[in-house]
Chain A
Amino acid sequence: DSGVTQTPKHLITATGQRVTLRCSPRSGDLSVYWYQQSLDQGLQFLIQYYNGEERAKGNILERFSAQQFPDLHSELNLSSLELGDSALYFCASSRRDPDTQYFGPGTRLTVL
């Protein structure tokens, strides 16, 4: 157990819908990262927050947004969902930036 929690574990929704994925970092970690992993693919970096501020942006679509709250938990919002958005979404956290990233168990999103 890495200490990073993600909810929900599974999410099934329809095209055009909007969902919110939640991540709680390890105690004491200030940085949160979001990644997308499609079937049999590598990890694609989406976005990073550090102590509430956006720190780095990767290949995140305009339909996707994220934020980190004062208690350091983070949410990833996915809207106008398409079939191709079906993937495993990981959250990771680290104490500093840069530093070792510890991953949560992921949220498996299925868009039908």
Chain B
Amino acid sequence: AQTVTQSQPEMSVQEAETVTLSCTYDTSESDYYLFWYKQPPSRQMILVIRQEAYKQQNATENRFSVNFQKAAKSFSLKISDSQLGDAAMYFCAYDMRFGAGTRLTVKP
């Protein structure tokens, strides 16, 4: 079965610091996409970043970057210079499968 696992139900970070959210997945495919989505209290699902498996270079979007380890099937999200607006649920996704989410709290 193809699954997505987020082992950290909750994480906390000080404003302006860096935090890393973990995700592992299982697939037998060689070419695929991986995603991180953010869900703030409004419940809107917002795309944060996308990684294409055939690309060795880790994706980066401003303060957000990933550490993609294809052999280990690991896909972690790093948030640099954390801001209060980053507080939200973060979901890792592969195909139509989503992890259980990590609730990120940002302390002022």
Contact = CB atoms under 8 A, between A and B. Distances in A.
Interface of A: 33, 35, 37, 41-43, 45, 48, 56, 58, 88, 90, 92, 98-103, 105-106
Interface in B33-50: 33, 35, 37, 43-47, 50
B68 to A, nearest CB: 16
B33 A98 contact: yes
A102 B47 CA distance: 7
Interface stretch (B13-21, B70-78, B93-101): B93-101
Contacts of B50: 100
Contact of A98 (B37, B95, B100): B95
Interface of B: 32-33, 35, 37, 43-47, 50, 91, 93, 95-101
A99 B96 contact: no
A99 B33 contact: yes
A9 to B, nearest CB: 11
Contacts of B100: 41-42
Contacts, number: 43
20 contacts: A35-B96, A35-B98, A41-B100, A42-B91, A42-B100, A43-B91, A43-B98, A45-B97, A45-B98, A56-B96, A98-B33, A100-B47, A100-B50, A101-B47, A102-B47, A103-B37, A103-B45, A103-B46, A106-B43, A106-B44
Contact of B96 (A33, A88, A103, A105): A33
Nearest to B103: A40
B98 A42 contact: yes
The 9 closest A-B pairs by CB, nearest first: A103-B45, A45-B96, A43-B98, A42-B100, A42-B98, A42-B101, A100-B50, A98-B33, A105-B44
